[in-house]
Each structure stands twice: as C-alpha cells, then as structure tokens.
C-alpha cells in the first residue's frame, strides 16, 4: 500500500514539476494526464507519451500522437497497434524496459520482449499484484508503475 | 479392495478436474512459464565409504488464468506440473499445483475479504512445524481488519509417494523406503484457525484412511496457540505451544497418545546494518515419558504430519528433541543505492541438538545404548546466496555436524563428524 501510494506520488510529482516548468505545457499536460488517469485500459498513445516523456526522449509539450510517431522512429513501435488501441501489460513493460534501459533478467537478455519484460516488472516490484503478459492495465496503474520504474532507475530499492 | 481403492482415487481426481473447466473457460488473462531448479549436494565423512553425491533436477511448467470480477474480486486458476530427476529415480512427472482461487472483497461485510481455494495447493499450520505440504482439498479464508479466519480440508492419497512427506506411522516410513507404492499415505486432514492481531489459535487433525488390518495406523489431533510480539523497533518475538492427542492402532490394540511441542524465539532485522538479520529459536518436542504411575497417563513422542527440515547435515525428526538455532546473515555489499552485488547475502548458523529424554531414537544410526547423555551434537553452517538476476538465484551452503560422542554425548565413538556442501540453482523461463 505504501509502495502503491509512493509510486503514484512520484509520477504525479514528476508531472507536476513538468507542468510548472513550462506554462504552455500546463494546459496540454493536464489534459493528457487527466485522460490517462481516467483510462480503464491504457491506450497505446498514452503509453508512448508516458515512457518517452518520463525518460526525456520527447519534449513534455509533445502530444500523444507525436509520441506514437517518436516511438516508431525509435523502432519501438508495437506492431498492429493503433493510437487508441489498448496495450497489454507486457507491451507497456517492454516500453518501460527500453525507455529506462533496464538490463533485465537472464531470459530478457536472451529473448527481449513483452513476456520477459512483464516478468521483470513483477520480480523487481515495479508491477504490484498480478502481472500477466496479456492483461490490460488502467491508466492509474500505469502511472503507479511509472513512478516505481523511475525510482528503480534512480537506484532505489522497492 | 485394491480395485475399490483405485476407483476412489480416480473419482476424487475426476471431481477435482470437473471443478476447473468453468474457470478455465471464463478466464480472460492467461500466462505461462517454466521453472528449473537444481540441487547438488556432496557429503563427506570418515564414516562413508566414498563421497556421497546427490543430484536433483526439477523442470516445471505452469499456466495461470485470471478473470477479474465486479467489485475488485477475481477468479484465478493455476496449474503447475514438473519433471524431476534424482539419483533415486530417473523420472517423476507430477502435478505440483492445480488450484482455483476466488477472491471476493466485501462479500461478507464492507471490510471483509473472502478467499476460497480449491484443488491441489499448500496447506500449512501457523507455525509450519506440524504441516507444510501440498494436498488436494479446499481452504476458505475470511479476513476482517485485525481478524483472520481459516478453515480447510484436504486429502493426501492422490500425492505421488516419492513426492509425499506425509509420514507419521511406521507403515508410512516403511512405504517411503520402498518403490512399490505409487501414491502416498491416504489421509484426511482438517484445519481451522483464527488469528487476532499477532495471536493465533489453531487446530488440525489427520485421519489415517487405510483399512488394512496388518498395518499400524495413527490418527492425530493438534491444538495450538502461537503469538508474535514486537521487540523494540526492529525485533519480534515468537512463541508457540502445540498439544497433540492421538489414537494408534496396531492390530486389535489401540493406544491413546498425548504429546506436545513448545518453542520460542526472537528475530531482529536492521536495514541500516547492511540488512542484517539475526534470530534465535529453541524448540522442545516431547519424548516418550513413562509417567502413567505418576500422572495417570504416559507422554508420547510428538509426531507432526510432515517433518520440518531442521538442519543441513543432521535432520532429526521433530520428536524427542531439544533444538536450538542461532542465525545471523547480512548483505555485505548493500549500500545506499542498489547495485549488482546488492542481493548477495552471507550467513552463519549454529544449531544444537539434544534428546528430550535418554531413550533410544531408533531411526538414527550409531547411538550408544549405554549413554544417558541428552547431547546429540552441534551443527555449524555457512552460506552465501544471491539473486544474480531477477530470474536467476544461486546459493552455496556448507556445514558440519559434530556428533556428541564419548562421555558427553549420546552417540558411540563410531559416529564421526559429517560435512555437507550444497549448491542450489533456480531459474525460470
């Protein structure tokens, strides 16, 4: 429970700092964040936006559609996914692993992809609760995981 | 009789399998994976003709399905099967888990959590000393803030004999030593416990379902209390007492059994001291005490449903035993920030073994029949373990058991020190 609150808090603080730093971004980021928090199933463009902005790969005032294009340019695009399609936990985990350059476990190093990315998130504690590769996740859960992934990337223990 | 017995087991297995399809069909999220576990152990002693090498490899596959329910609940199906190789057996294909778990928050009150488990799952008493084993059955848990209730029933006759450590009677142990039993002992188990805060009251019972008149059979019941309390900021104390009654039948004769086990311990965890863990515990498991003339009944040797593992080299039964253990471990490379060597944990453990009474312990070799010493010996263990990667765990443990022999010990001088070196590897895919 403490970790859950902490993860969401880290992600929210990060977004708040972003918003405060760039006045123009405020309105747009607020809209994006509100939209993500309300998503029962995290959309592909929201996943792209979150991982690329949080890892500093695109500017915070980019749109989710621009994030999808940036993802394709990085060759991280998920084949067959439209911008509004929901992503699976495995796909989201794989985006996180790539964005934060987590080395992963033995099997992830041998065969990088959504399956072992989801396992890595479960093993490290970034994903709390059930972490099945093909399950969908809500926007709120994704934000919590993003917060913990950022903490993990900073060398913190979860 | 045998045919009826096999039919009964097949029917039980069928019922188990019939429970699962509705859950399988309705699951919306699926995942699967595998596990590989290897244990290699070397044993050395001047008592042995040669170095004893034992090897066990277990390759498992699992599948899991999850169906979320309204109100935050869920239905989850887990199946896990494995192939095992060991020196004793070239192969065993087994079902390790096959269970359906339903979670129903708020089902019996706003702050309640009802959880039901059916199928092959782990059954464990609050201390883990009487029962800690897989079995086929059902468990119902009901949790309220500060109060937890649990009731369960299980059957052990569908477990494969080599995989079953449900051993209580002499017949159970004899069957374990032979290859002619496909299934383990047929026993029905019931458990009921209530936990309020750190205090648990629990009861278990097991009934021997074999009806062969030539064999001995034992039914046992356990009534226990266990408690955990805080000791300062990072310490805990644990205490328990379990009283057991039983009925042993050999031929036409029946004996009423009464036995007990008590124990206490403390444990500390200090994150600031490189994640140090320290603990001490002591147990006393009753021996046979011929007290009928004094108190009206004899006290018998305590018999758990399955034996806990107490040591690396020397692993006596939890029966006619005084056991002490002092353990310390830390993560020497754990700094302020996480690092690659962070998970390495080194530890040292000392164990003292004593008889509870100077009677014979017939399953252990090289006792001195003329000794009335209670001291059995001391074991020292050193170990290092690490989760090298998130899906790769390694551990190396070495230990020596120095038996108490001569004037001060219960063993004869033929019993020499024994050494063991054990390597464990665990990974998944």
Tell whether A153 lies on the interface with B, counting CB pairs under 8 A: no
Q: Tell me, yes or no, if A75 comes closer than 8 A to chain B by beta carbon.
A: no
Q: Residue B372: its pLDDT value, please?
A: 87
Q: Using one digit for the tens of pLDDT, what is the confidence trace for B4-61?
A: 445 555 555 555 556 555 655 666 889 999 999 999 999 999 999 999 999 999 999 9
Beta carbons of B132 and B122 less than 8 angstroms apart: yes
pLDDT in tens, B71-115: 889 999 999 999 999 888 888 999 999 999 999 999 999 999 999
- Residues of chain A with Cβ-Cβ distance to B427 below 8 Å are 106
pTM of the model: 0.87
Question: Rounded to whole angstroms, how far apart are CA atoms B240 and B235?
Answer: 17
Is the ipTM, as predicted for this complex, more than 0.85?
no
Tell whether B35 is within 8 A of chain A (Cβ): no
- Interchain contact, A156 vs B31, CB within 8 Å: no
Closest CA to B125 of B241, B268, B16, B218: B241
Report whether pLDDT(B3) > 50.
Answer: no
CA nearest neighbour of B284 among B243, B342, B249: B243
Which chain B residue shows the shortest CA-CA distance from A125? B390
Overall average pLDDT of the B185-206 stretch: 96
Half-sphere exposure of B86 (CA within 13 A, CB side): 14
How does pLDDT run across A73-89, given as a tens digit for each residue?
A: 999 999 989 999 999 99
Over 80: is that where the pLDDT of A30 sits? no
pLDDT at A3: 47
d(CA B225, CA A26): 59
Query: CB of B181 within 8 Å of any CB in chain A?
Result: no
């Amino acid at each position: 429970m403490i970790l859950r609150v902490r993860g969401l808090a880290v992600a929210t603080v990060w977004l708040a700092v972003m918003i405060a730093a760039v006045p123009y971004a405020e309105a747009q980021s607020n809209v994006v964040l509100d939209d993500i928090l309300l998503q029962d199933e995290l959309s592909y463009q929201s996943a792209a936006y979150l991982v690329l902005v949080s890892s500093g790969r695109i500017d915070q005032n980019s749109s989710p559609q621009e994030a999808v294009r940036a993802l394709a340019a990085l060759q991280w695009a998920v084949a067959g996914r439209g911008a509004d399609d929901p992503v699976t936990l495995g796909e989201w985990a794989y985006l996180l692993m790539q964005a934060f350059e987590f080395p992963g476990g033995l099997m992830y190093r041998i065969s990088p992809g959504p399956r072992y990315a989801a396992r890595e998130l479960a093993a490290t504690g970034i994903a709390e609760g059930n972490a099945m590769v093909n399950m969908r996740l809500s926007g709120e859960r994704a934000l919590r995981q993003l917060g913990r992934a950022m903490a993990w990337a900073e060398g913190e223990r979860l | 009789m045998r045919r009826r017995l096999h039919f009964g087991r097949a029917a039980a297995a069928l019922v188990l399998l019939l429970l699962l399809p509705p859950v399988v069909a309705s699951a919306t999220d699926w995942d699967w994976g595998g596990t590989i576990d290897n244990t290699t152990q070397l044993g050395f002693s001047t008592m042995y003709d040669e170095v004893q090498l034992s090897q066990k490899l277990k390759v498992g596959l699992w599948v899991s399905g999850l169906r979320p329910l309204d109100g935050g609940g869920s239905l989850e199906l887990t199946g896990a099967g494995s192939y095992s190789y060991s020196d004793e057996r070239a192969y065993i294909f087994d079902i390790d888990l096959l269970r359906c778990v339903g979670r129903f928050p708020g089902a019996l009150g706003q702050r309640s959590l009802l959880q039901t488990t059916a199928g092959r799952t782990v059954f464990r008493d609050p201390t883990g000393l009487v029962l800690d084993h897989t079995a086929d059955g059902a468990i119902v848990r009901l949790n309220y803030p500060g109060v937890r209730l649990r009731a369960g029933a299980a059957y052990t006759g569908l477990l494969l004999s080599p995989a079953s450590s449900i051993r209580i009677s002499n017949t159970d142990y004899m069957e374990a030593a032979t290859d002619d039993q496909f299934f383990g002992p047929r026993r029905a188990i019931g458990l009921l416990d209530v936990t309020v805060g750190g205090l648990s009251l629990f009861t278990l019972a097991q009934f021997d379902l074999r009806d062969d008149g030539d064999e001995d059979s034992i039914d046992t019941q356990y009534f226990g209390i266990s408690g955990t309390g805080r000791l300062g900021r990072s310490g805990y104390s644990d205490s328990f007492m379990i009283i057991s009654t039983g009925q042993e039948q050999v031929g036409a004769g029946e004996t009423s059994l009464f036995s007990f086990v008590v124990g206490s311990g403390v444990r500390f965890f200090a994150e600031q001291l490189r994640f140090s863990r320290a603990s001490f515990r002591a147990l006393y498991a009753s021996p046979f005490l011929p007290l009928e003339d004094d108190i009206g009944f004899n006290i018998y040797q305590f018999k758990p449903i399955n034996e806990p593992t107490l040591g690396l080299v020397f692993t006596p039964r939890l029966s006619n035993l005084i056991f002490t253990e002092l353990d310390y471990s830390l993560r020497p490379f754990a700094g302020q920030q996480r690092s690659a060597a962070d998970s390495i944990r080194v530890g040292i453990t000392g164990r003292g073994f004593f008889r509870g009474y100077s009677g014979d312990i017939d399953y252990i070799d090289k006792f001195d029949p003329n000794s009335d010493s209670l001291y059995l010996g001391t074991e020292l263990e050193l170990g290092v373990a690490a989760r090298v990667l998130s899906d790769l765990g390694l551990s190396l443990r070495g230990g020596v058991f120095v038996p108490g022999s001569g004037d001060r010990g219960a063993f004869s001088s033929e019993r020499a020190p024994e050494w063991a070196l054990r390597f464990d590897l665990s990974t998944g895919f």
